[in-house]
Chains A and B, each alone.
Chain A
Amino acid sequence: MNSAAIPAATTSVMSGSPLPFQGDPASRTLVLGLGNDILSDDAVGLLVARELQGRLPVADAARCDVVEVCEMGLALLDVIVGYRDLIIVDSIQTGRAAPGTLHEFQGEQIETRRVASPHFLGVGETLALGRLLGLAMPETVRILAIEVADPFTLGTKLTPAVAAATRTAVSRLKSWLLPRRGPFRAAHERLA
Chain B
Amino acid sequence: MDKAVKEVFNEGNLRANAAYQAAKRNITIDPITRLEGHGKVDIYLDEKGDVERAYMQVPELRGFEVFSLGRPAEDMPQITSRICGVCPTAHHMASTKCLDDLYHTQPTSAGRKIRELVYNTFVLEDHALHVFVLGGPDFIVGPEAPPAERNIVGVIGKVGLEAGKKVINTRKRLRELIAYFGGKVVHPVLGLPGGVSKRLKPEDRPKFQELAKDGVEFAEWSNAVLKDVLLKNEDYVAMIKSEAFTHQTCYMGMVDDQNRVNFYDGKLRVVDCTGKEVCKFTAQQYRDFVSEHVEPWSYMKFTFLKDRGWQDFAEGPDSSIYAVGPLARLNAADGMATPKAQAAYDEFYQVLGGKPVHHTLATHWARVIEMIYAAERIEQLINDPEITSEAIREVPTKTPTEGMGVVEAPRGTLFHHYQTDERGVISMANMIVATGNNAARIAMSVERAAKGLIKGGHVTEGLLNKVEMAFRAYDPCLGCATHSLPGHLPLTVNIFNHRRELYRQLRQG
Interfacial residues, chain A to chain B (CB-CB below 8 A) = 8-11, 34-39, 42, 69-75, 77-78, 90-96, 103, 105, 109-110, 113-125, 128-129, 132-133, 143, 145, 151-155
Which chain B positions have C-beta within 8 A of A92? Answer: 29, 33-36
- Cross-chain contact A118 with B472 (CB below 8 angstroms): yes
CA A128 to CA B179, docked complex, whole Å: 26
- Cross-chain contact B85 with A74 (CB below 8 angstroms): no
Cβ 8 A contact of B85, one of A72, A93, A94, A96 = A72
The answer to the question of B506 belonging to the interface, with a C-beta cut-off of 8 Å to chain A, is no
Which chain A positions have C-beta within 8 A of B79? Answer: 38
Most buried by A among B32, B34, B135, B187: B32
The answer to the question of B59 belonging to the interface, with a C-beta cut-off of 8 Å to chain A, is yes
Query: In the complex, how many angstroms separate the beta carbon of B130 from the nearest chain A beta carbon?
Result: 8
- Cross-chain contact B134 with A154 (CB below 8 angstroms): no
CA A72 to CA B477, docked complex, whole Å: 14
Q: Which of B161-169, B224-232, B347-355 contacts A (4 or more CB under 8 A)?
A: B161-169
Interface pairs (7), CB distance under 8 Å? A8-B179, A36-B82, A39-B484, A115-B30, A119-B475, A133-B168, A154-B67
Interfacial residues of chain B within 461-509, with CB under 8 A of chain A in the complex: 468, 472, 475-479, 482-491, 508-509
Identify the closest chain B residue to A121 (Cβ).
B133
CA A116 to CA B491, docked complex, whole Å: 9
Most buried by A among B30, B67, B79, B153: B30
CA A93 to CA B30, docked complex, whole Å: 10
- Cross-chain contact A93 with B478 (CB below 8 angstroms): no
CA A122 to CA B63, docked complex, whole Å: 29
Which chain B positions have C-beta within 8 A of A122? Answer: 30, 32, 488
CA A8 to CA B490, docked complex, whole Å: 32
CA A75 to CA B86, docked complex, whole Å: 10
- Cross-chain contact A124 with B479 (CB below 8 angstroms): no
- Cross-chain contact A114 with B184 (CB below 8 angstroms): no
Query: In the complex, how many angstroms separate the beta carbon of B321 from the nearest chain A beta carbon?
Result: 22
Given known contacts A70-B485, A74-B129, A119-B479, A113 and B187 CB-to-CB distance under 8 angstroms: no
- Cross-chain contact A155 with B151 (CB below 8 angstroms): no
Which chain A positions have C-beta within 8 A of B83? Answer: 36, 38-39, 154
- Cross-chain contact A72 with B30 (CB below 8 angstroms): no
Identify the closest chain A residue to B39 (Cβ).
A117
Identify the closest chain B residue to A45 (Cβ).
B34
CA A145 to CA B36, docked complex, whole Å: 13
- Cross-chain contact A118 with B29 (CB below 8 angstroms): no
Which chain A positions have C-beta within 8 A of B63? Answer: 153-155
- Cross-chain contact B151 with A42 (CB below 8 angstroms): no
Cβ 8 A contact of B67, one of A96, A115, A155 = A155
Given known contacts A105-B31, A119-B486, A114 and B129 CB-to-CB distance under 8 angstroms: no
- Cross-chain contact A115 with B32 (CB below 8 angstroms): yes
Interfacial residues of chain B within 42-70, with CB under 8 A of chain A in the complex: 59-64, 66-67
CA A110 to CA B27, docked complex, whole Å: 17
Which chain B positions have C-beta within 8 A of A116? Answer: 147, 150, 468, 489-491, 508-509
Query: In the complex, how many angstroms separate the beta carbon of B148 from the nearest chain A beta carbon?
Result: 4
Which chain A positions have C-beta within 8 A of B32? Answer: 105, 110, 113, 115, 122-124, 143
Query: In the complex, how many angstroms separate the beta carbon of B19 from the nearest chain A beta carbon?
Result: 15
Identify the closest chain A residue to B68 (Cβ).
A154
CA A39 to CA B479, docked complex, whole Å: 12
- Cross-chain contact A118 with B476 (CB below 8 angstroms): yes
- Cross-chain contact A152 with B508 (CB below 8 angstroms): no
Beyond the given pairs A72-B34, A129-B168, 5 more chain A to chain B contacts, judged by CB atoms under 8 angstroms and listed by A's residue number, are A73-B486, A115-B489, A128-B153, A133-B161, A143-B32
1/0 contact trace for B64-97 toward A, CB 8 Å?
A: 1011000000000001001101100000000000
Which chain B positions have C-beta within 8 A of A69? Answer: 186
Cβ 8 A contact of A8, one of B184, B486, B487 = B184
CA A147 to CA B445, docked complex, whole Å: 33
CA A124 to CA B34, docked complex, whole Å: 14
- Cross-chain contact A154 with B34 (CB below 8 angstroms): no
Identify the closest chain B residue to A143 (Cβ).
B31
Which chain B positions have C-beta within 8 A of A129? Answer: 152-153, 156, 164, 168
Cβ 8 A contact of B148, one of A77, A114, A119, A145 = A114
CA A72 to CA B34, docked complex, whole Å: 10
- Cross-chain contact A70 with B187 (CB below 8 angstroms): yes
Cβ 8 A contact of B484, one of A36, A96, A145 = A36
The answer to the question of B115 belonging to the interface, with a C-beta cut-off of 8 Å to chain A, is no
Query: In the complex, how many angstroms separate the beta carbon of A40 from the nearest chain B beta carbon?
Result: 9
The answer to the question of B175 belonging to the interface, with a C-beta cut-off of 8 Å to chain A, is yes
Cβ 8 A contact of A154, one of B66, B472, B477, B489 = B66
Interfacial residues of chain B within 263-297, with CB under 8 A of chain A in the complex: none
Which chain A positions have C-beta within 8 A of B156? Answer: 129, 132
- Cross-chain contact B184 with A9 (CB below 8 angstroms): yes
Identify the closest chain B residue to A105 (Cβ).
B31
CA A92 to CA B63, docked complex, whole Å: 21
Given known contacts A74-B133, A114-B151, A95 and B27 CB-to-CB distance under 8 angstroms: yes
- Cross-chain contact A113 with B489 (CB below 8 angstroms): no
Given known contacts A11-B187, A70-B82, A125 and B153 CB-to-CB distance under 8 angstroms: yes
Cβ 8 A contact of A118, one of B35, B186, B187, B489 = B489
User: Closest 10 interchain pairs by CB?
Assistant: A105-B31, A119-B486, A154-B67, A117-B489, A154-B63, A8-B179, A153-B62, A114-B148, A153-B63, A122-B32
Which chain A positions have C-beta within 8 A of B37? Answer: 93, 95
Query: In the complex, how many angstroms separate the beta carbon of A13 from the nearest chain B beta carbon?
Result: 10
1/0 contact trace for B134-153 toward A, CB 8 Å?
A: 11000000000001101111
Cβ 8 A contact of A119, one of B67, B185, B478 = B478
Given known contacts A78-B172, A132-B161, A151-B35, A120 and B179 CB-to-CB distance under 8 angstroms: no
Identify the closest chain A residue to B185 (Cβ).
A9
CA A58 to CA B294, docked complex, whole Å: 56
Which chain B positions have C-beta within 8 A of A151? Answer: 35, 484
